[in-house]
Structure 1
């Protein structure tokens, strides 16, 4: 997230760990709040404690096994949590909810570490736990401590503390200041979110995201919108400890409160580990359908088909075909991203993708769509990123009964296409289909833009299909490093700069050149890369930014509805352009792709 740097006032709350040696044995009978401490990390980390009292609230019998316990009487410090997880290792806990216990254990800060990460580099926040416990049950059948109700007004509107660096160094959290501090102050406690709305579809594990702020950052279908680098703050992940996996779509809601201890997910972000889930009330969400283009309109769509390979199921091909024919209304041109080669992810040197494309176009015809022709350029093996061996690329599908493709030159993976002056001073491409500056370092290990020259009703339209480099390598926006490092932005900014210069070269020849830029830019409508590509709106218009705010999303990740896919048009096409995002994947538990397609109808 892009947050403010630390101010002089707040700098005092960021301090290094105490330099003096700490005792290894804490006094007996220490309260849970004293173990948790007022910051993100326990002041007793590494020490042994004994006689820690609490009421067992929730038991977890799957890995990591253990139980949560909570003080029967909360302390008066809003910065300290009164709940904590007791990790029992490979042994399932023998306690039950309502047991009053005392625990002797080691205070540990547990942090999940991913591949290639270390304890100092992983962005995950740590969880304060009691490990190697000796548990004594003193009574049973006690009432559980009342859960903390998280209302629409509980969580601050700012996501992260207004500091720069590792937020775990904050000695005292201020729950009223940021969402991360609020949630940390309740780590391990029972919390309750009353009848929350679901803001992202359930996954194969049964996990789902809810919001405690139903009227904040709301998308048109009930998701949580990303409109800046400040994450939506009502968002909380939910997982069911009983193993239930209800199928849920964005906009559905739970019929009752979601109750459980607040934990940190190994996949990032805070999570409620609910013993059981309430019934689900469906919102009746259905996929959207585009308006059909008129005879005078040329329709251009973009669709990331998520690693489409010849070995994918017939059901996937049929669903993609239905989406193109029915939901996108059979566009004249479709830029299709993530088309894999004929051997899929097998890394055998294959680069041709004609079998993949043929299966897709056949499925479209079988679904009642046009007999699409296609153009593309095979990449050099293993040079364009994506799934190893897959050689993903962007391909043009086009309806030859509506538009003509201008074949010019000898397309190859290394040949760059440039603007040149054609008949009557109109712009044309030196190579069509061609690639934009494929040797430029900006495209290293990334997909090169595919440019093509089309003719519609006698008018030339240049279409560019894009798939900019991914966000891989960026730090988690939910994590301890704030603002997170978004290292992948550097390459996308360079790619945008190269493509913007290419667009300007066309417009220098013909200021009224009809240009459509479409595809998966892997970045937000407010990002530096997109601003660079559009020339801050002076050369191209990013059409998704023209929609009402609640409709500005094409992808849902970690419970956040966001923009990754775009269609941009030149000034000559902006007037009268009719543009839609077709929501048929990202908000549904049953997805054909993880991206939503989009389409524009223009009058060249």
Structure 2
């Protein structure tokens, strides 16, 4: 046997002389057969390696990319592939420390085949086949890299995922890959391999985690401003692909907005993680070209029009820097044209995320009111109800709540005392009008539907002597839902059960109003955490109690949020039949931009009560 010179590095051992043994010594001293000798054997034509848990020796490959931080290791690819399009020729080697290899190194790797599930077994994510506890033999350097496989509309199928096996709880893990038919199968068949995209459009802005999203299928459900629309559960948009960088430039990761172009070649190994699934870990990153549109500005309301808006201000806290307050204020004054009523979501208490029992929010709201006034807007007033400590979900200690800002020069608030965190407001008939027993008041706050979630807030307003009831909402989050890219297809949406219950509560409340006065003007709005085509929306609109305003917009403009490259509706505005004519606008100012003051776009409804 050749004398070895080894460098121990975390879980990895690097050898600078060739291995001549055909046996692998296991940690307990036993010897095991080497098993397969090519990467495509290890990967197989399913998602799970047929050799998972086995030890392998002398697996050949060319290093195509190196990751030095986080889950450190490198990708290698066999330049001598087989004839099957279902078997990947690439694999990730987990070293647990910075590996002393470079792209172009010719290596032989011995180790154990494992299936790693990013985010853990309960995350719903697919697994990544990798080699762990490796011994790495560097045979030569500066070898040509295997030719990159191009991802485009011709190579990525338009159907996103196969139907999972009903006998295996709808899992796709046991299904043979069909890369010519399903996008998820195509990506899996290229797992760990050198891939590239050319001249792609950005459909998800750069994030704080140094990633962005592009589309390799540019004609797939485009929005009016360059994104990709998520318009149904069957329209997952297979062309979406996350891009990260393995070699950040001196300027850092580019700040890309939706609609920008990533020009030239972006190339590197195809990887998978818990935050979006398959992504291109770029060894070579294209050049960003600013092509996206500017933030929108809505028109001012006309005489006789009441403007009602909603805005998720993303955990607004009193200790946020002045810039956030200034930018929010500019958005209210310039982009939203100072609406008469503004429902806010995610307003934190006066100690922010500090978990000290504080529930009041006068300091938080006061800073925003001052900032709007200083930006040239009106001196808004606030109405809200403080939650019970720790009962409404959101960031621990933050006690987020919904509430109303209103311009007292244009609209009045009808105060009816007695409402608090646990007292429900009810519909009361007064002089033939539907009014509230408590204003502001919470809707059924003690119902189990609102457990660990924000309770809807109803307020009674008057505009030119006409009564208007507005309900501000922030339904429970999507936490716990399985990912679109996960191993269960179709994904299970466990979180929506609570939102269905919440929607039915709000719908019943609106029907109580209409039982008193059918033509009452009611506006229900806020962050519903669900889509305009969802069963949550159907429950809200049951018995024609409400209708969604988003349906009046062209399809390509229906989105308030961008998630993993999908432009989608999460924030909604709905109106009662009494609001027969209205003008509705989603004001795209945040969700498409890397530099955003909130991750949600605001929206505004204008009508004549």
Query: Shift of residue 72 of structure 1?
Result: 1.4
Matched residue, 1:151? 152
Match of 1:475 among 476, 482, 485: 482
**SS of equivalent to 1:390:** coil
In the alignment, is residue 387 of structure 1 matched against residue 388 of structure 2? no
In the alignment, is residue 584 of structure 1 matched against residue 589 of structure 2? yes
**SS of equivalent to 1:503:** helix
- The Cα offsets for residues 497-524 of structure 1, whole Å up to 9 and x where unpaired, read as 0110110111111111101111011111
**SS of equivalent to 1:55:** strand
Match of 2:93 among 49, 67, 86: 86
TM-score norm. by structure 2 comes to 0.91
* Distance in 2 between residues matched to 1:509 and 1:382, nearest whole Å: 35
In the alignment, is residue 436 of structure 1 matched against residue 437 of structure 2? no
Unaligned runs of 5+ in 2: 1-29
In the alignment, is residue 452 of structure 1 matched against residue 453 of structure 2? no
Contact kept? 2:226, 2:292, Cα under 8 Å:
no
**SS of equivalent to 1:256:** strand
Matched residue, 1:466? 473
* Distance in 2 between residues matched to 1:418 and 1:159, nearest whole Å: 46
Matched residue, 1:365? 373
Query: Shift of residue 28 of structure 1?
Result: 5.9
* Distance in 2 between residues matched to 1:180 and 1:362, nearest whole Å: 50
Contact kept? 1:257, 1:278, Cα under 8 Å:
yes
In the alignment, is residue 96 of structure 1 matched against residue 102 of structure 2? yes
- The Cα offsets for residues 457-509 of structure 1, whole Å up to 9 and x where unpaired, read as 12111111011111122222221122222221111100100110110111111
Matched residue, 2:209? 205
For 1:30-45, list aligned pairs within 5 A.
Answer: 30-45=37-52
* Distance in 2 between residues matched to 1:341 and 1:56, nearest whole Å: 52
Match of 2:559 among 553, 556, 559: 553
Match of 1:503 among 484, 507, 510: 510
Matched residue, 1:226? 230
Query: Shift of residue 387 of structure 1?
Result: 1.3
For 1:77-476, list aligned pairs within 5 A.
Answer: 77-90=84-97, 92-114=98-120, 119=121, 121-163=122-164, 164=166, 165=169, 167-230=171-234, 231-243=236-248, 244-423=252-431, 425-476=432-483
* Distance in 1 between residues matched to 2:86 and 2:456, nearest whole Å: 51
Matched residue, 1:20? none
Matched residue, 1:529? 536
Relative to structure 1, is the Cα distance of residues 252 and 26 closer, same or farther in structure 2, using a 3 angstrom cutoff?
farther
* Distance in 1 between residues matched to 2:31 and 2:163, nearest whole Å: 34
TM-score norm. by structure 1 comes to 0.92
In the alignment, is residue 562 of structure 1 matched against residue 563 of structure 2? no
Query: Shift of residue 561 of structure 1?
Result: 1.3
Contact kept? 2:414, 2:460, Cα under 8 Å:
yes
* Distance in 1 between residues matched to 2:380 and 2:237, nearest whole Å: 41
* Distance in 2 between residues matched to 1:24 and 1:181, nearest whole Å: 35
Contact kept? 2:422, 2:445, Cα under 8 Å:
yes
Match of 1:599 among 579, 604, 608: 604
**SS of equivalent to 2:123:** coil
Query: Shift of residue 109 of structure 1?
Result: 1.3
The alignment's C-alpha RMSD in Å is 1.7
Query: Shift of residue 179 of structure 1?
Result: 1.6
Query: Shift of residue 88 of structure 1?
Result: 2.3
Relative to structure 1, is the Cα distance of residues 49 and 168 closer, same or farther in structure 2, using a 3 angstrom cutoff?
farther
**SS of equivalent to 1:336:** strand
- The Cα offsets for residues 295-342 of structure 1, whole Å up to 9 and x where unpaired, read as 110000000101111111110000000010110000000001111111
* Distance in 2 between residues matched to 1:550 and 1:276, nearest whole Å: 32
* Distance in 1 between residues matched to 2:475 and 2:160, nearest whole Å: 28
